[in-house]
Amino acid sequence: MDSGLLLTLDFPARTETELTFVVANSLKTQIFPRCCHHPRTRLAFFQNQKWRTDKISYQTHHFFNSFPALTSPRNPLVIATATATTATNMVKAIRVHELGGPEVLKWEDVEIGEPGEGEIRIKNKAIGLNFIDVYFRKGVYTASEMPFIPGREAVGEVIAVGPGLTGRKIGDIVAYAGDPMGSYAEEQILPANKVVSVPESISPVVAASVMLKGMTTQFLLRRCFKVEPGHTILVHAAAGGVGSLLCQWANALGATVIGTVSTREKAAQAKEDGCQHIILYQEEDFVARVNEITSCKGVDVVYDSVGKDTFQGSLACLKTRGYMVSFGQSSGVPDPVPLSALAPKSLFLTRPSMMHYNQTRDELLEAAGELFAILASGVLRVRVNHTYPLSQAAQAHADLESRKTKGSVVLIP
């Protein structure tokens, strides 16, 4: 369907009748033989003309195409035609035109179209801030185009659905995490198969704070390395957005949780979240402390989102056949590791992505379903400690990178 113009003539009966003709979604309209332009932009009316026809309805989706001939008392042959330019919809969004620090995040007007087949348009209510947004802003990860709108997590209300789409309706509250990038906007177009319904018991702010982090936690603990009772795990950045959830969920699974944090305030939070052993890494050697805690046996798995500063020490903390799960690099990209470095203890090393663990619709629904269920059970305490207006995303990024934040950060359009 052409998005610029939809012309419809509707007749309630096949007799002479009053006709109200509306041309919508049009910036400029010409209708012949008679035309009455409405003073408001984008609407014109061809009103109160008496027509006689043997058709109930005429429609066209094409510019410059004539309608079929209509008969009238005055003129046995009347042709109605219209020309139009396509209407555009502008919303506010954060865009990145060049890679760099938080200052490259610009608050701008952007154009948004209508959803196509298999798509929906949502008005965002809350947007999750994640370290992956920083990686794209800096160029650690490469965006597919420049300029680009960052963000990979949001909750919003469906305000339009694409043609022929079923299973989704206007007014639904939905969430997504992962692909596609572009959530730092007041509105966005999304593939309908990438969103999940948000239970009424979960607010948009809480859902936006936990979708990406929560589903990341789910695949790390349940699929990447399946944590079970009796396991001992090490979680770096234990008071961060994912770290906090890892500690709570792993503790509920019966694991012994060791967490590293930067401050005593964050140590108190990590303790609340189920860390039995807390290491202040700026004051202590975390490798020595892990050896002390485990009686030099090491841990079954390390969940490392810090990267360069902790990577080598994390490998040293593992027991024989232990798993090194490197899922972030907030301090920078780790130095290359030769395979021979893994040999002395037959270690496993993985650099997983949530997107690869939720490639199918069934995988996405299973992950989101388990996350929502554990939220409903009260096992997870979600802390939305920081909210910023979307227009202040640059400040939010600066605070996140300087480790001034703890728990989740949410942007509000």
End-to-end CA distance of the chain: 31
The structure's pTM equals: 0.72
Q: What is the Cα–Cα distance from 57 to 53, expressed in whole angstroms?
A: 10
Q: What is the Cα–Cα distance from 74 to 34, expressed in whole angstroms?
A: 13
Choose one of 55, 87, 119: the last residue of a domain. 87
User: Would 390 be classed as within a structural domain?
Assistant: no
Tell me, what CATH number does 198's domain have?
3.90.180.10
Each of the 413 residues of the chain gets a pLDDT tens digit; together they read 333 333 343 333 333 333 333 333 332 333 333 333 333 322 233 333 333 333 333 333 332 333 333 334 443 333 333 333 334 578 999 999 999 999 999 999 999 988 999 999 999 999 999 989 999 999 989 999 999 999 999 999 999 999 989 889 999 999 999 889 999 999 999 999 999 999 999 999 999 999 999 999 999 999 999 999 999 999 999 998 899 999 999 999 999 999 999 999 999 999 999 999 999 999 999 999 999 999 999 999 999 999 899 999 999 999 999 999 999 888 888 999 999 999 999 999 999 999 999 999 999 999 999 999 999 899 998 888 899 999 999 999 999 998 788 778 999 99
CB neighbour list of residue 163: distance below 8 Å, 6 or more residues apart: 1, 116, 117
Task: Identify the residue whose tokens are 């033989």.
Answer: 33
Residues 38 and 70 in one domain: yes
Q: At what angle do helices 264-272 and 241-252 cross, to 10 degrees?
A: 40
Residues 74 and 128 in one domain: no
Residues 46 and 129 in one domain: no
Residues 260 and 146 in one domain: no
Task: Phi first, then psi: give them for residue 256, nearest 5 degrees.
Answer: -85, 125
Q: What is the Cα–Cα distance from 1 to 387, expressed in whole angstroms?
A: 40
Task: Calculate Rg over the CA atoms of the chain.
Answer: 28
Domain that holds residue 120: 89-205+396-412
Q: What is the Cα–Cα distance from 41 to 290, expressed in whole angstroms?
A: 68
Structural domain total, the chain: 3
Residues 233 and 347 in one domain: yes
Q: State the average pLDDT for the chain.
A: 82
- What pLDDT sits at residue 206? 94
- What pLDDT sits at residue 269? 92
User: Would 384 be classed as within a structural domain?
Assistant: no
Choose one of 87, 113, 135: the last residue of a domain. 87
Residues 237 and 130 in one domain: no
User: Would 1 be classed as within a structural domain?
Assistant: yes
Q: Is 134 helix (H, G, I), strand (E, B) or coil?
A: helix
Residues 71 and 97 in one domain: no
How many residues are present in the chain?
413
Residues 167 and 274 in one domain: no
| Residues 80, 31 contacting (CB under 8 angstroms) | yes
DSSP codes, 164-202: T--S--TT-EEEEESSSP--SBSEEEEEGGG-EEPPTTS
User: Would 17 be classed as within a structural domain?
Assistant: yes
Beta bridge partners of 234: 258, 302
Choose one of 315, 332, 351: the last residue of a domain. 351
Residues 81 and 54 in one domain: yes
Residue 89: HSE in the Cβ half-sphere, 13 Å Cα cutoff:
15
User: Would 137 be classed as within a structural domain?
Assistant: yes
Tell me, what CATH number does 338's domain have?
3.40.50.720
Q: What is the Cα–Cα distance from 144 to 165, expressed in whole angstroms?
A: 27
Q: What is the Cα–Cα distance from 307 to 157, expressed in whole angstroms?
A: 36
Residues 190 and 285 in one domain: no
- What pLDDT sits at residue 88? 54
The alpha carbon of residue 277 and the mean position of all alpha carbons in its chain are separated, in whole angstroms, by 33
User: Would 377 be classed as within a structural domain?
Assistant: no
Residues 181 and 141 in one domain: yes
* % of the chain with per-residue pLDDT over 90: 68
User: Would 101 be classed as within a structural domain?
Assistant: yes
Residue 174's CB: how many other CB atoms inside 10 A? Answer: 20
DSSP codes, 241-302: HHHHHHHHHHHHTT-EEEEEESSHHHHHHHHHTT-SEEEETTTS-HHHHHHHHTTT--EEEE
User: Would 363 be classed as within a structural domain?
Assistant: no
Residues 194 and 125 in one domain: yes
Angle at alpha carbon of residue 379, lines to 373 and 381, rounded to 5°: 105
